[in-house]
Amino acid sequence: MEVKELISLIKEEVPNKAIDLMDSLELLKETIADTLTEILKKSNTAFQQRNLTRWNELNRLIDRIVPIEGKIAQTIEELDLDVTMKESEIEKRVLPNYSDYLVDSNVEHTLYEDYTHRRPCAFKMNGNSRIEVSTWKEMLIKTCEILIEKDEEKFLSFEHLEKMNGKKRKYFSVHADGMREPVSIKGKMYIETLMSSNGFRNLVIKLLKEYNLKISDYKIYLRADYSGLNQ
């Protein structure tokens, strides 16, 4: 079965899983990009040291990884859906008894985890104080508010930066037209907030990278985990 045909069937039969797949591949693509950056740094060092054997080895490795990155990007584009499930709709689908699924809200989690069916209560970035939130949407909004205060010009540039937006829709725009659930950040820029929990996670990762902030310094705290309901 061709990959396109397989993706088409997944989108038709289990569209919510298509969203999960797309979000997971986005994270994988970001990780591969980081890997390439690190290898490129080593390659440049090897060239500066005139270690051409090492330089050739690293460049061959880069040549092998780049096509994989391209295939993943193509698959993400083919998986992209016109309709994304709202977080509130997911919440309604998995709320039998809230208290049964509470978790330790003091445990730190990273941006490299799967947050499907999990709910946040707070986050912390760059070693600053813990910021309380009740949804992934609120976490993204407050993160954006911090970043736009840090460098407004950079934040406003995201509207025209291809990698910061989806193939079929804008995640950043000075105009709300065409956005499904826009939220204004400080009256300067609208951000799209209709996405899955892992979609929010992926966008936060992209934001931190653009600001040259360590992803590992961003901590998430959970209030509930409904994963057991969906096994």
Length of the chain: 231
Q: Which of 29-33, 74-78, 83-87, 122-126 has the highest mean pLDDT?
A: 122-126
φ, ψ for residue 185, nearest 5 deg: -105, 105
DSSP 108: -
pLDDT digits (tens, 9 = 90+) for 24-50: 888 898 889 889 999 999 999 999 999
Q: Each residue of 189-202: pLDDT tens digit?
A: 999 998 889 999 99
Q: Which helix (H) or strand (E) holds 148?
A: helix 136-150
Position 30 scores a pLDDT of 86
Q: What is the pTM of this model?
A: 0.78
Q: What is the mean pLDDT of residues 139-162?
A: 97
Give the C-alpha separation, 49 to 19, whole Å: 45
pLDDT digits (tens, 9 = 90+) for 6-30: 888 887 888 777 878 888 888 898 8
Give the C-alpha separation, 55 to 131, whole Å.
45
User: What's the pLDDT at 81?
Assistant: 62
Among 171, 206, 169, 159, residue whose Cα is nearest residue 33: 206
pLDDT at 230 over 80: no
Residue 186 clears pLDDT 90, i.e. is over it = yes
| Alpha carbons within 13 A on the beta-carbon side of 23 | 25
Q: What is the enclosing helix (H) or strand (E) of 57?
A: helix 52-79
pLDDT mean across residues, the chain: 87
